[in-house]
Amino acid sequence: MTLDLPLVARGKVREVYDAGGDRLLLVASDRISAYDHVLPTPIPDKGRVLTQLSVWWFDQLAPVLARFGATHHLLSATDVPASVAGRAMLVRRLDMLPVECVARGYLSGSGTREYERTGAIVDVVLPPGLVEGSQLPEPVFTPSTKADVGEHDEAIDFARVVSLVGAARAEELRELTLALYRRGAEIARDAGIVLADTKVEFGLSGGALVLGDEVLTPDSSRFWPASSWSPGAAQPSFDKQYVRDWLTSSGWDRVSPPPELPDDVVAATRERYVAAYEQLTGTSFR
Ligand SMILES: CCOC(=O)Cn1cc(-c2ncnc(N)c2C#N)cn1
């Protein structure tokens, strides 16, 4: 699929195009990444499901944004080219802030390793006795800087956020990110999903704070099935566990190009994305 729009940015699983008139087109592909590799086999409808989920979250979170005098960048998810119908968002072009705003309600992944070394995640000190998968006493703000394509984001402390955006804006980013996470986690929990953590991005438009990017999707967040939550080991991913388990069983070395996924793993993974959408929104994915 080629859009006759100028490409602004290409990520592992998404592209950003210039839609003209201070608008951008965010296009979600059906690509899936695992173990830091983009897999060769697409997951049918993944782009559409995650786009429609973002659209739903923007609506659910609008009241939280309003409490902070903020808005979001979504203009339309229907006024998009037919070739990307359902998996593209027309958004306002923002002056993006150079901070990946991460909120964590649970300890996992790189956070756990750092906690085990230092008792903290960067400058956020945590209580003793936590293990992989533990719920934190309170959600915490653990920002990072945007890495170049293919690189890992670098975790930064709050002082660095202040140096990047100023003290007042830094405080606003922390409080708003935590408020969005709390509301998302509450809605997800009612749907049987643990929202372990999430990454949101903000920009400015006319000096006002605007929520950008995708929001609270399984690509920007860790979704765990609440029914299997059990601190003390890596938690199963709501959406990627079939892929991870098959890749591990395939003997793939995680360095060479990843193998194609078998049809049954593709189908089961597609069903997990649809299930996440239907459980969260309470509506059927079409
Ligand atoms: C290919 C993946 O890269 C990204 O999505 C990161 N990115 C965000 C922008 C952006 N720039 C201005 N205004 C916006 N509303 C947005 C948004 N969202 C560009 N790249």
Under CATH, what is the fold of the domain 95-252?
D-amino Acid Aminotransferase; Chain A, domain 1 (3.30.470)
d(CA 49, CA 286): 9
Of the pLDDT bands very low, low, confident and very high (cuts 50, 70, 90), residue 146 is confident
The distance from CA 186 to its chain's CA centroid, rounded to whole angstroms, is 17
Which residues of the chain does CATH 3.30.470.20 include?
95-252
- The answer to whether the CB of 53 falls within 8 A of the CB of 76 is no
- The answer to whether the CB of 26 falls within 8 A of the CB of 38 is no
The pLDDT value recorded for residue 200 is 98
Q: What is the pLDDT of residues 253-282, one digit of tens each?
A: 999 999 999 999 999 999 999 999 999 999
Check pLDDT > 90 for residue 147: no
Q: Which atom of ligand 1 is nearest the CA belonging to 201?
A: 18
Q: Helices (DSSP H) in 120-166: which residue ranges? A: 158-165
d(CA 219, CA 277): 13
Of the pLDDT bands very low, low, confident and very high (cuts 50, 70, 90), residue 138 is very high
Q: What is the pLDDT of residues 81-113, one digit of tens each?
A: 999 999 999 999 999 999 999 999 999 999 999
Q: Kindly report the CA angle at 94 between 166 and 66, in degrees rounded to 5?
A: 75
Which residues of the chain does CATH 3.30.200.20 include?
7-92
Please list every protein residue whose CB sits less than 6 Å from any atom of ligand 1: 8-11, 14-16, 24, 26, 73, 91-94, 96, 203, 212-213
The DSSP symbol for 199 reads E
Of the pLDDT bands very low, low, confident and very high (cuts 50, 70, 90), residue 148 is confident
Of the pLDDT bands very low, low, confident and very high (cuts 50, 70, 90), residue 1 is low
Mutate to test the pocket of ligand 1, among 26, 57, 84, 95 (most ligand atoms within 8 A of CB): 26
Quote the radius of gyration of the chain (alpha carbons, Å).
19
Which residues are CB-neighbours of 13 under 8 A, at least 6 positions away?
28, 29, 31, 32, 33, 38, 47, 219
Identify the three-state secondary structure at position 204: strand
Torsion over CA: 90, 94, 98, 102 (sign): negative
Q: Which atom of ligand 1 is nearest the CA belonging to 10?
A: 1
Which residues are CB-neighbours of 269 under 8 A, at least 6 positions away?
32, 43, 46, 239, 240, 242, 243, 261
Q: Using alpha carbons, select from 181, 223, 186, 243 the residue that is nearest to residue 41.
A: 243
Neighbours of 270 (CB within 10 A): 20
Q: What are phi and psi of 270, to 5 degrees?
A: -55, -45
Q: What is the pLDDT of residues 196-226, one digit of tens each?
A: 999 999 999 999 999 999 999 999 999 999 9
Of the pLDDT bands very low, low, confident and very high (cuts 50, 70, 90), residue 16 is very high
Is CATH 1.10.3720.10 correct for 7-92?
A: no
> Can you give the pTM of this predicted structure?
0.98
Q: Which atom of ligand 1 is nearest the CA belonging to 16?
A: 1
